[in-house]
Amino acid sequence: MNYISTNKAPAAIGPYSQAINIGDMIFTSGQIPLNAYGALVEGDISVQTKQVLTNLSEVLVASGSSLKNVVKTTIFLANMEDFADVNKVYAEFFGTHKPARSTVAVKTLPLKVGIEIEVIAIKG
């Protein structure tokens, strides 16, 4: 088991890793819209989603992978009314690649952000 860390995404804000690599599998922790310096990104759900997916992309690159190798995403939304806007940004990042996905409405997220996403990917 390898712990993955990159300074191109925000450091963990608790006792966890940005990602863990086991064999060919990569499991990321949930990312929220913090920039690489740990500052909260201000803006609507589209801006927040872009930052989250950028963070995940950087963690995957540090893991020897990329968004093209994601097999499963889990999206946590504070407001399901944001679903369509999140989908637009998500489609920009994933293009024709369509990993399995779950989207869950939650009461609150860390720092009261609107979105958190975690992924499972393979190396490659």
Burial classification of residue 23, based on how many CB atoms lie within 10 Å of its CB (0-12 exposed, 13-18 middle, 19 or more buried): exposed
| CA–CA separation, 49 and 31 (whole Å) | 10
pLDDT at 13: 82
Q: What is the mean pLDDT of each run of 10 residues along the chain (124 residues)?
A: 96 93 97 97 97 98 98 98 98 98 96 97 94
pLDDT at 21: 97
Q: What is the CATH number of the domain that holds 60?
A: 3.30.1330.40
pLDDT at 14: 87
Q: What is the pTM of this model?
A: 0.96
| CA–CA separation, 30 and 73 (whole Å) | 10
Count the domains in the chain: 1
Looking at residue 93, what DSSP letter applies? H
Task: Give Rg (Cα) of the chain.
Answer: 13
* DSSP SS3 for 121: strand
Domain hosting 115: range is 2-122
pLDDT at 103: 98
pLDDT at 10: 96
